[in-house]
Amino acid sequence: MILQIISIIFPVFFIAFIGYLYANKVKINMDMPNKINMDIFIPIMVFYFISEKLPSIHMIGSFSMGAVIVVFGSGIILYPITKIFNLNPRTFLPPMMFNNSINLGLPLAFFAFGEEAMALAIALSLVQVIGQFTVAVMMYGGKFDIGSLFKNPVIIATLIGLLFNYFNFHLPSILLDPVKMMAQVSIPLVLFALGVRLIHLELRYWKIGILGAILCPLSGILMALLAIYIFDYTPLQASLIILFGALPPAVINSIMAEKYNCDSITVASIVAIGNIASLIIIPIVLYFVL
């Protein structure tokens, strides 16, 4: 079991570590590679797995509702904590709710459970992505524009993939191979970018960072167990949603906090320490879900 866990987490953290080392040595700007990944490779991956690997779109319904429970339930149960510790909810709650489901969750799902799990893991990530660009924007003090949501390439790829799945459409084989190849670019690139991004994160407010590193996976796992209790999930679905709940805060939280001038240094510290703590938390969670 220990060797199996190492074989799962090693590629994930190794690629991120390479990105971290490279960014330490070379001044690198990942804005353009990240944009290409978010505009091209990740949407193609989403389309490919939903259209070709998801057995039925009916599986997404209750599973996505489980992700809603994890994301928003975490915010609800942790709100009293902000009062107890006199924390700003706009600063503390978004990183607790919106986790690293794309940068870390999708690669972990792939290495732990294989291609059959990817479409389901994407269903969880989509809830997080939609919430990040709607609810999180408003929590950080910005204004939500619904038009921008439907211009998001990931959302567009999801809708097209669902249509293909529902009507049992398939790409011709001459297109399927290059689409699959481009889909395979997304995970290594997103992990490398995660490592590069971590070099810029703050550890200044380590006390609140440690609190977040504990409460983020704890609240997520509790809400995942609630979702499992409510819905009739398969063993694979149950394992995936627990892993989803255990993920650390998304790196994009620090970017959004800076964009909307919402105590970005504190948010960056929560994100950084949460992701460092995942080196310990994720292997423990994998031990119980595998």
What is the pLDDT, as a whole number, of residue 240?
96
pLDDT in tens, 32-63: 998 899 899 999 999 999 998 887 777 777 78
Nearest to 161 by CA among 51, 45, 41, 49: 51
DSSP 116: G
Mean pLDDT along residues 17-44: 91
Hey, what are 74's tokens?
């975490």
Which H or E run contains 75? helix 58-84
């704890």: which residue's tokens?
218
Whose structure tokens read 């703590």? 277
DSSP-assigned letters across all residues of 158-181: HHHHHHHHHTT----HHHHHHHHH
The tokens for 208 are: 């609140």
pLDDT at 244 over 90: yes
Q: Which two tokens stand for residue 277?
A: 């703590």
Closest CA to 249 of 289, 209, 283: 209
Residue 249 pairs in a beta bridge with 99
Judge whether residue 146 has pLDDT over 80. Answer: no
Contact 92, 208 (CB under 8 A): yes
Q: What is the pTM of this model?
A: 0.88
126 pLDDT above the threshold of 80: yes
Q: What are phi and psi of 249, to 5 degrees?
A: -60, 145
Q: Mean pLDDT for the chain?
A: 90
Q: Find the range with the poorest average confidence among 19-23, 59-63, 71-75.
A: 59-63
Q: Is 111 exposed, middle or buried (0-12, 13-18, 19+ CB in 10 A)?
A: middle
Six token digits for residue 102? 């794309």
Question: What is the pLDDT at residue 186?
Answer: 92
Cβ proximity of 63 and 120 under 8 Å: yes
19-28, 106-115, 132-141: range with lowest mean pLDDT: 132-141
